[in-house]
Structure 1
Amino acid sequence: MEIYLGHGGLPCLVLEDVYDWEDVDEPVYEPSDGSSAIPDLPFLHGKECTTVVDRSGVHSLMIGYCKCPNACTLDKQLFAMGMFPASFSRPKSAFTFSVLDGFLLDNLECGTSAINYYSKLRRKTSSIFPHLVPDWYRELMRVGRQWRQLKLLKWNGLAHEKRQPASSELALFCPACPQPRINVPQLDERDRNDPEWLYARSLVMDGNFKAEHLHPTRPEDEVWLTDGMCFMVTRDEYKAHLAGAKDHVQIQINMDYALCHALSHHTKGLTRALTFYDINCQYNKYFRHRVNESLHLSIPAGMEIILGIGLWHVHGHQDKCYVRYASTFITGAARIDGEIMKTLWAPLNVISPSARGMSTLHRQECLDYQMNDSNFMKMIKMSGFLYWKYREAVKGVSESMAAFQKLNDAADPIVVKKWEEQDQQAQMRRIADPSAMDVFDVQLQKAPTRKQQELALLSRVGRGVANAQRGAATWIASSITIEELQISLLMDIRRLGKHPTETQHLEIGRRWTKLQNQIDEFTIAAVTHLGEDFDLDDNIQDMEVDFIDHSEQEGDGDTDGELNPHEDPRCNVFCPKNVLLPLPSNISIQRCTKLGVVHLIGQEIALWEGQANDALQAIRVLLADKAVLFRTTVRPAKSQVKVTRAWMQVHSVERVIRLHAMIYAKCRAQLGHLQAHTLLKKYLRMEKCHLKATAAVADPNARGQRNSTLPWFWSLNVQGDSVSNNWMNECASPSSDHADHTMTEISL
């Protein structure tokens, strides 16, 4: 087949060689190894064929160009026919526009590389001998680069202009961003009453570690087509910055240059910028110092940089980062997550593997085209959705304002005024000192532990007091340790069964002997702290109540059956029969008054309170651990071996939970003996249902979870102001003296 150009499919009259078709006897063509699949046919009369690469395959065709005096050049004649020549002076091969569009589309949506796409065309041409089809892979890569550049020029209105595009002119224009002289007035035209946040630009930084790139072997041979004209930065400025910033990490160097470039080129006419970065809390500590040291970096004068962290990443930081850097607390940031770069990486990662081996410039153009094309399509699809979202937002403003007004009217006006002042001060100071935003955080006062209580009691004791009073806190604290050992020993005896082995008998006997020695030492020291009038033979059995029975009544969650140390044969030899230590809680308050040791009552209450806090904290951690085990170990287990091992881990955690539940029950019983009724209102009774762990708390979309609440100890308020109203856990004042543990429920 022969194609004529320039005369509507008819041959040019100026053509010198025009032959009629004729049938001739042709020899059988047998290609040798490595030869082309296109034979040298006799009827071509020595005319050269042009290789045309189309979506249907690779074809060898005779093309007759127009040679009239006023005819266009050969390359333009091919362009007019929808063909892109591989060379422009004497073209020998050409690619149809359809195959170039198909290549870019496959590369964009499927991540198909040039070598794979051309291999497909060779297979289409000759499915049996694809290796005999001419290899125009390199020409496809070169023409593909030029085709991308032409598409970008056409999309941005430069199809009929010969001028060189300015910096970033080929990047997609965003009509939603503040654009001075377009949708934002100039500085001298703005109303002075307008808030500062109204004229601010949001800059989101992120690194895509999946977009790997191999270093080119000969970078000096690379040709730039769109240097700094699209999304990527200019090469000369960037290379100069790299040469003078070798003391820092490569990723940090890139981020510094990218941020300074964005502040200089994309915030013209603006004085405020919101920057979002996954690690902004650490990255910006020395950012201005690095800029001042560099000869190639600068920040526009008067530019205020507001630091932010995306909502997805900020919850993985320390708790203090949430109020300091979350977009929720940035005035004017609107309801955004600050993670828009993550949505752009998803389509970009499709094309990244195919660009891994490209030259630096080819890769840059490929990614520029990808971002332009994908973002443009997103804007087209989102236009209708954004209009619907805007209408819903306008409707929601009135509803939100009405709800907020009700809440505001119910609050104390003095407190509201104080909150507004704190808000204004924090927003003014946040740029220089992000810690000023801590006033928005829940002022969590952690419940004091037993060690903290003991240290506090020791610090209150002066130098002029008696030795007995000085060591009373340590003496009482040692009794609490003995009580824990007794509970642990009785639980271990319970698990022995009715027929324990000799080794188990011996182990229990050794532990009991060691425990009895500690009890004897504690009892001997009791005379020193309780006074000479105290007699070890005082009758305290009237108060004797088995703490194992207490734990069963309190709901320790044990299902192994009750164990009475006075009747069970396992306890007759090795287990103490409920040894009650000579503490104020056991000898009664009246007896302490007679002995003149009333000061010991307050110290024992403080230590039991600290022990209760330790037990509850351990229960919270263990229940969370149990929920994680169900989600990550029990449910994924498929084989019998894995299921058995998984449940062994769960039972091990359950035993520790029961131990701490019994310790808490003992603490609450002793506080009752000491008549600490105020603390008993805060430390409620522990029920068996409270110790159930569910993996549904890790799934925010679990059905019915909206109306379910966690047990009382998950939101325990150490000041006790939320006992009567659970809703106060959500609305506690950040500046109030009363704080709660509401965030514990959220973090679980």
Structure 2
Amino acid sequence: MEDRDSFLRELIRLEGRSCLTTCAGCKTTEVAMYRCDDCLAVDLYCKTCILLQHGNQPVHLVKEWTGAYWVRRSLKELGLTIQLGHSAGETCYLPKIPYADDFVILHSNGIHSVALRFCGCETADTPAQQLLRYRLFPASTQQPRTAATFNLLDEFHLLSLESKISAYHYYNSLSRRVNNSGLSPSKDRYEQFMRMVREWRHLKVLKRSGRGHDPDGVDRTQEGQCAVLCPACPQPGKNIPDDWCKVHKEKQWLYALFVAIDANFRLKRRAISNDKIDPSLSRGWSYFVEELSYKLYLREHANLRQEKSMCSSHSAVNGVESKSTEGLAATGAGSVCCARHEMKLPCSVGDLQKGERYINMDYLFFSALRNTSIKVFNVSYDIACQWTVHLWERMITLPNPMHLAYNDSKINMLIPKFHLPAHVAECQWKYSFNFIKGMGRTDGEAPERGWSTLNAAASSAKEMGPGHRRDTLDDLIGDGNWKKLIGLGEMIYRKIVEAVPERNDHQEDLREFENSLKERYSTQLSQWRADVVAWENDMSKPNPFEIKSNAVTQASIRLQLARDEIDLPDTALIHTDISPSVLISMGIDLEEQQRRLRADSEKQGIHATDQQKAKLLQRSNGLLRRIEAWTNVQTLYIPSVASLRVKAALNSEQVQRPESFRLWLPSALRRQVPCDVNLEEIEWKLRTGQAHDALEELRQALRSRAYMLRFKDRFLRGQGATTRARNSLKSVDMKVDASAAKYRAAYGALSALSPLLGKVGWATTFRPLEKEDIRSMTHGTEDRPTEGRRRLSWIWLTCGYTDGTQADEGLQDAIRLEWCKARARANRWAEEVELLVEEQRRTLQFLRWQSDWWLERQALIMTDDPALQEGLKAYALRQAALRQDLANHFEHIWRNTQSYIEAGGGISTDNPIAVEYHSG
């Protein structure tokens, strides 16, 4: 701010001649009236010198001094003519090629009208070729009148990939560069610009994929041949050993292909144009499937009805028929990508015509896998539980080249980790990445992260014709794949730094857990290990992660009591509508409502608004009425309770508030007055269910809090985001406190009833809930805070079972399940380290294979044109060197990872990677 006056003066100073009057070229003074805004220097030139200076810069912005101020002048107005094919002194203009006096060039500094001469010799190249050799891209091959510089097309190409800027807005910015007043608008070449951009994208893809080096020419390009492949995924013949099929069964998971399927409903396309008017420039050469075959298959199977979901009500399954298609040619797009590195697979993307139908997703899935010989597939899909039901029957309807030899392959169907909680319990242990061998720490959510890049272009792609849209999205996907490829070095490095300590911590945790079990459960531990290994080798066997005992809940107890009371004689029911079990259930519910009202009253504070006070008073009045109605029925079953209430009222000078009103359930009476033992037994059962419910609610709240804390620490920055996160954590903390209070009430009642009913053994399941017991599964106690030495709180080892005789068996089942999960965590982290080491090796081998592949390209085509021959060789050598440089760069990044892994991730002078990482 201190210097802005001087900066402003310098800008205004340039509005004059800067005290210059002499031509920088010929040193004359009278005619030095021209200056170029695109050249760095502010020298003045005469007309002759400015033209000589810009013989090869015909689109620079030149200004003329009028004697008072600068005005814009084009070099064409000053007499500059562009001569193609020959130098200006060797003009060979012939009538057969007209003089292009109004030729328009699109340059990054604006839209310019220029005078241009084509070479007219009999041996001259076509006008389009002459322009291309001048690094001008023609808008037409026949009598071109518009061209764009290569630099402009490169600039827009990169801008569209990085910022997703539309061609419309970019073109308008060019129009305003030359004249921003609107008084002299540039000639409209928007349609020509769109055509040139689309062709430029296409040619870049062909060039980078080596199609210009193929003797068979571009038309012989095969489907998927222009895609950027993932170097870290197993590619037979490119980056895995030749005998990979013979590897030991225990290591086959290292050569598995991880793929993830998903649909995106933001990538819509309006019903604009059609494939005949706007065809794609490629035919399934990159990521989109070949359109004719795809639509033919969809048309032939359009009448297939999709079965409804038998899991949760997934909108992707059940909402297909109701998906609105009005005004849309495509309601979205589906794709298949590698689940570990987020790169789209060749021939794996296609439009969706009416939601996420199986026939669309089947075609894309089998299209993506048809050219691989890999035998182990880990397939992630958020509706995998439904999609796989009749998958192989539907596969038969696809063209034969797409059929997968699934009988000779191992295919693991999984559900992404974030989506899994929305499924029923059976899916959560059957399709989990956490439990299945060979998954490492893959989460299956790769498509969700990949869509974010394409979604930025959704609004402009929505208005495109079908071919233009496919070509544009192909280009965007290819750019995304390339950026992920060059980022593999840092990504794998970062994952190794994280995975090694995690592996060690979880393995130590498993050892500690097993040591604590050996004294009491040594025999069972051997059986559990045998069971889980058997299931890992043959997943048709019983799943060890399935909960085998049915947990008790308050709702299940109430249902059982209601069934028991069906056969009671009418004489046993004192009240016609309210049975003994209903009476006690209602009392426990009222007790819960009292706790909530009391907590909300304490939370309200002294500065509550009138509206808040009114709502709380309404709740209080409603609770009081419910209590009064309940106590009237209670006195029928326990008449002596009336005397206790009268005595309490006489001893108290204050009127009891609803939240502090004593309900005198059997556990509170402690047989101070006569009470039916049947009522005590009913309360015992209901309190048991209440205790299990409270513990389950407490565990869920602790899991939510642990996840939110991890998310906050990892992703949230800034005061606003942190404040919102703290408010969310407060609500979770309130749930933790409420669940703890609910459990303590149930535990207190059980403690009071157990001596009255002679109940024993229940204390091994339920224990007093102390403050230090309320901690997440990953947190240790203060005296054992580290991951390797922590002990699970007892709340994670307790679950409910159908009756008292199953208590010990149920406890074993809970411990077995926790041991299986601890073992799975340790194994998954160990697998992750192995996978990352293998991915390092595969990436380096792939890049070197691809470098050799490019070296072979340099001599595939032999031509009589020495300039073309040199270009073919130069480009092939440059691409080969680029792959070799990438391999060397990655190797340098990973130079210390092996010693880091062997040392277990510890920080020492022998571990440079750990020192570097932990020092920031």
TM superposition score normalised by structure 2: 0.57
**Does 2:227 align with 1:171?**
yes
Tell me whether 442-451 or 614-623 shows the greater mean CA deviation: 614-623
Report the counterpart of residue 446 of structure 2 in structure 1: 340
Letter of the aligned partner of 2:653 in structure 1? P
Per the alignment, do residues 520 and 60 of structure 1 end up closer, same or farther by CA in structure 2, a change over 3 Å counting?
closer
Q: Deviations over 1:106-163 (max 9, x none)?
A: 2111212222111111111210117721111111111111111110111111224424
- Contact 1:56–1:124 (CA<8 Å) still a contact in 2? yes
Report the counterpart of residue 183 of structure 1 in structure 2: 239
Per the alignment, do residues 104 and 415 of structure 1 end up closer, same or farther by CA in structure 2, a change over 3 Å counting?
same
Where in structure 2 are there 5+ consecutive unaligned residues? 1-79, 306-319, 321-353, 602-617, 712-718, 721-729, 802-806, 824-920
**Does 2:485 align with 1:375?**
no
| SS class of match (2:430) | helix
- Contact 1:626–1:653 (CA<8 Å) still a contact in 2? no
Q: Deviations over 1:645-674 (max 9, x none)?
A: xx99x9999999978865764453233544
Tell me whether 102-111 or 64-73 shows the greater mean CA deviation: 64-73
Report the counterpart of residue 157 of structure 1 in structure 2: 210
Report the counterpart of residue 296 of structure 2 in structure 1: 240
Q: Deviations over 1:306-340 (max 9, x none)?
A: 21122222233333323322222333333212222
Report the counterpart of residue 262 of structure 2 in structure 1: 206
Task: Tell me, in whole angstroms, the C-alpha distance in 2 between the residues paired with 1:519 and 1:181.
Answer: 80
Letter of the aligned partner of 2:81 in structure 1? E
Q: What's the RMSD between the two structures over aligned residues?
A: 5.8
**Does 2:408 align with 1:314?**
no
- Tell me the CA shift for residue 439 of structure 1: 1.7
Task: Tell me, in whole angstroms, the C-alpha distance in 2 between the residues paired with 1:588 and 1:131.
Answer: 102
Q: Deviations over 1:563-604 (max 9, x none)?
A: 964422356999999797899984499x99xxxx99998676
- Contact 1:291–1:297 (CA<8 Å) still a contact in 2? no
- Contact 2:274–2:466 (CA<8 Å) still a contact in 1? no
- Tell me the CA shift for residue 58 of structure 1: 0.7
- Tell me the CA shift for residue 445 of structure 1: 4.4
Q: Which of 531, 536, 551 is the matching residue for 1:446? A: 551
Task: Tell me, in whole angstroms, the C-alpha distance in 2 between the residues paired with 1:370 and 1:509.
Answer: 65
- Contact 1:584–1:674 (CA<8 Å) still a contact in 2? no
Q: Which of 371, 382, 388 is the matching residue for 1:278? A: 382
Letter of the aligned partner of 1:175 in structure 2? P
- Contact 1:58–1:125 (CA<8 Å) still a contact in 2? yes
Task: Tell me, in whole angstroms, the C-alpha distance in 2 between the residues paired with 1:97 and 1:585.
Answer: 91
| SS class of match (1:243) | helix
**Does 2:653 align with 1:569?**
yes
Per the alignment, do residues 352 and 568 of structure 1 end up closer, same or farther by CA in structure 2, a change over 3 Å counting?
same
**Does 2:180 align with 1:127?**
yes
- Contact 1:216–1:359 (CA<8 Å) still a contact in 2? yes
- Contact 2:83–2:91 (CA<8 Å) still a contact in 1? no
Task: Tell me, in whole angstroms, the C-alpha distance in 1 between the residues paired with 2:261 and 2:621.
Answer: 65
Task: Tell me, in whole angstroms, the C-alpha distance in 2 between the residues paired with 1:405 and 1:653.
Answer: 30
- Contact 2:684–2:750 (CA<8 Å) still a contact in 1? no
- Contact 1:324–1:438 (CA<8 Å) still a contact in 2? yes
- Tell me the CA shift for residue 61 of structure 1: 1.0
Q: Deviations over 1:266-303 (max 9, x none)?
A: x2x23332211121112222323333456789532334
- Contact 1:49–1:62 (CA<8 Å) still a contact in 2? yes
**Does 2:85 align with 1:2?**
no
**Does 2:140 align with 1:87?**
yes
Query: What percentage of residue pairs aligned between the two structures are identical?
Result: 24
- Tell me the CA shift for residue 606 of structure 1: 4.0
- Tell me the CA shift for residue 76 of structure 1: 1.2
**Does 2:637 align with 1:522?**
yes
- Tell me the CA shift for residue 345 of structure 1: 1.4
Task: Tell me, in whole angstroms, the C-alpha distance in 2 between the residues paired with 1:58 and 1:190.
Answer: 63
Tell me whether 475-484 or 115-124 shows the greater mean CA deviation: 475-484
| SS class of match (1:335) | coil
- Contact 2:773–2:794 (CA<8 Å) still a contact in 1? no
Q: Deviations over 1:16-57 (max 9, x none)?
A: 69xxxxxxxxxxxxxxxxxxxxxxxxxxx9862311111111
Q: Which of 353, 357, 364 is the matching residue for 2:459? A: 353
- Contact 2:421–2:428 (CA<8 Å) still a contact in 1? yes
- Contact 2:552–2:692 (CA<8 Å) still a contact in 1? yes
Task: Tell me, in whole angstroms, the C-alpha distance in 2 between the residues paired with 1:577 and 1:477.
Answer: 21
- Contact 2:687–2:746 (CA<8 Å) still a contact in 1? no
- Tell me the CA shift for residue 691 of structure 1: 13
Q: Deviations over 1:706-738 (max 9, x none)?
A: 99999976764448889999x9699445899xx
**Does 2:364 align with 1:258?**
yes
Report the counterpart of residue 191 of structure 2 in structure 1: 138
Report the counterpart of residue 33 of structure 1 in structure 2: none
- Contact 1:280–1:309 (CA<8 Å) still a contact in 2? yes
TM superposition score normalised by structure 1: 0.68
Letter of the aligned partner of 1:4 in structure 2? Q
| SS class of match (1:63) | strand
Letter of the aligned partner of 1:452 in structure 2? I
- Contact 1:109–1:351 (CA<8 Å) still a contact in 2? no
Task: Tell me, in whole angstroms, the C-alpha distance in 2 between the residues paired with 1:609 and 1:353.
Answer: 57
Task: Tell me, in whole angstroms, the C-alpha distance in 1 between the residues paired with 2:736 and 2:522.
Answer: 49
Q: Where do residues 204-603 of structure 1 align in structure 2 (5 Å cutoff)?
A: 204-247=260-303, 248=305, 249=320, 250=354, 251-252=356-357, 253-265=359-371, 267=372, 269-293=373-397, 299-301=403-405, 302=407, 303-386=409-492, 389=495, 411=518, 414-430=523-539, 438-441=543-546, 443=548, 445-449=550-554, 452=557, 455=560, 477=581, 480-481=584-585, 484=588, 514-515=629-630, 517-523=632-638, 565-570=649-654, 586-587=670-671
Q: Deviations over 1:378-437 (max 9, x none)?
A: 22233254356558767887887677667667756644543343234434554xx6xx57
Q: Whose Rg is larger? A: 1
Report the counterpart of residue 500 of structure 1 in structure 2: none
Task: Tell me, in whole angstroms, the C-alpha distance in 2 between the residues paired with 1:600 and 1:138.
Answer: 85
Per the alignment, do residues 69 and 441 of structure 1 end up closer, same or farther by CA in structure 2, a change over 3 Å counting?
same
- Contact 1:6–1:12 (CA<8 Å) still a contact in 2? no
| SS class of match (1:440) | coil
- Contact 1:585–1:670 (CA<8 Å) still a contact in 2? no
- Contact 2:585–2:686 (CA<8 Å) still a contact in 1? no
- Contact 2:581–2:679 (CA<8 Å) still a contact in 1? no
- Contact 1:244–1:294 (CA<8 Å) still a contact in 2? no
- Tell me the CA shift for residue 678 of structure 1: 3.7
| SS class of match (2:487) | helix
Per the alignment, do residues 333 and 728 of structure 1 end up closer, same or farther by CA in structure 2, a change over 3 Å counting?
closer
Task: Tell me, in whole angstroms, the C-alpha distance in 2 between the residues paired with 1:68 and 1:115.
Answer: 39
Per the alignment, do residues 706 and 246 of structure 1 end up closer, same or farther by CA in structure 2, a change over 3 Å counting?
farther
Report the counterpart of residue 338 of structure 2 in structure 1: none
Per the alignment, do residues 476 and 294 of structure 1 end up closer, same or farther by CA in structure 2, a change over 3 Å counting?
same
Letter of the aligned partner of 1:127 in structure 2? N
Task: Tell me, in whole angstroms, the C-alpha distance in 2 between the residues paired with 1:101 and 1:220.
Answer: 29
**Does 2:114 align with 1:61?**
yes
Per the alignment, do residues 130 and 188 of structure 1 end up closer, same or farther by CA in structure 2, a change over 3 Å counting?
same
| SS class of match (2:370) | helix
**Does 2:93 align with 1:15?**
yes
- Tell me the CA shift for residue 516 of structure 1: 5.7
Task: Tell me, in whole angstroms, the C-alpha distance in 1 between the residues paired with 2:416 and 2:243.
Answer: 30
Task: Tell me, in whole angstroms, the C-alpha distance in 1 between the residues paired with 2:652 and 2:176.
Answer: 85
Report the counterpart of residue 50 of structure 1 in structure 2: 103
Task: Tell me, in whole angstroms, the C-alpha distance in 2 between the residues paired with 1:194 and 1:659.
Answer: 48
- Contact 1:672–1:680 (CA<8 Å) still a contact in 2? no
- Contact 1:276–1:307 (CA<8 Å) still a contact in 2? yes
Per the alignment, do residues 179 and 655 of structure 1 end up closer, same or farther by CA in structure 2, a change over 3 Å counting?
closer
- Tell me the CA shift for residue 105 of structure 1: 1.5
- Tell me the CA shift for residue 608 of structure 1: 4.7
Give the structure, 1 or 2, with the largest relative contact order (CA under 8 Å, sep 6 or more). 2
Task: Tell me, in whole angstroms, the C-alpha distance in 2 between the residues paired with 1:121 and 1:194.
Answer: 61
Tell me whether 504-513 or 368-377 shows the greater mean CA deviation: 504-513
- Contact 1:457–1:603 (CA<8 Å) still a contact in 2? no
